[in-house]
Amino acid sequence: MKQTITIIDYGSGNLRSVENAFSNAITDNNLKCKIRVTSDIHIIANADLLVLPGVGSFPDCRKGLQNIEGLIDVLSDQVLFKKKKFLGICVGMQLMFDFSLEKIRTSGLGWLSGNFNKIKTVGSDYLGRKFKVPHMGWNSLHLEHINHPILKEINEKDQYYFVHSYYLEGNQTNQVIASTNYCHKIPAIVGNENYLGVQFHPEKSSLSGQKLILNWLKWRP
């Protein structure tokens, strides 16, 4: 029986890129999954796996969730109580936390503890270039919980594509699975039980991103 992966359309994600990346991972590995892209809360409630992309500002993405009546309640019920497997991407990952200070203090979903503040541009990189915000480009990961299934066959030479200006601070150490370094330490993969979030874009991260998507699809929390 095919599992249904539902990519949530709330007006704030690069949906086609995410859909294509998941489709490639499914096809290349002969997995029995089907993908739906939807904003229909009834379809979301019946999904097996949930993916929440996110591009743009935190307040705009939060407003996008609120604008779909019942979506926030359905998401929290499916993830926290029915234990559906969930992946948040970029701002989709940020929304899993308490709040962000981007533009104006805005509440998140509160599934994980921590908040987002602007990246502190201190110092220079190894070529002597001053750090800039947004953090835009390729970075490797420091694997902090190396036995987590999401990190299977991933190593610290793999590169992932980041585009963001705000980073997670005040997070519990046991919720950070991998981090990167840009000006300072930035949590890159976080999670608890059945839900994970990535600050980077796996759908734009070539073979490294495909490997991570495959790990998530095969993961059995």
Catalytic residues: 90, 201, 203
Amino acid at 75: L
Q: From CA 84, how far away is CA 76, in angstroms rounded?
A: 10
Task: Work out the end-to-end distance of the chain between its first and last CA atoms, rounded to an integer number of angstroms.
Answer: 19
Amino acid at 120: K
Contact 208, 159 (CB under 8 A): yes
Beta bridge partners of 51: 7, 87
Measure Cα distances from 32 to 4, 28, 202, 219 in Å.
Answer: 9, 11, 21, 14
Which two tokens mark 27? Answer: 């096809």
Contact 4, 36 (CB under 8 A): yes
The pairing of beta strand 99-100 with beta strand 106-107? antiparallel
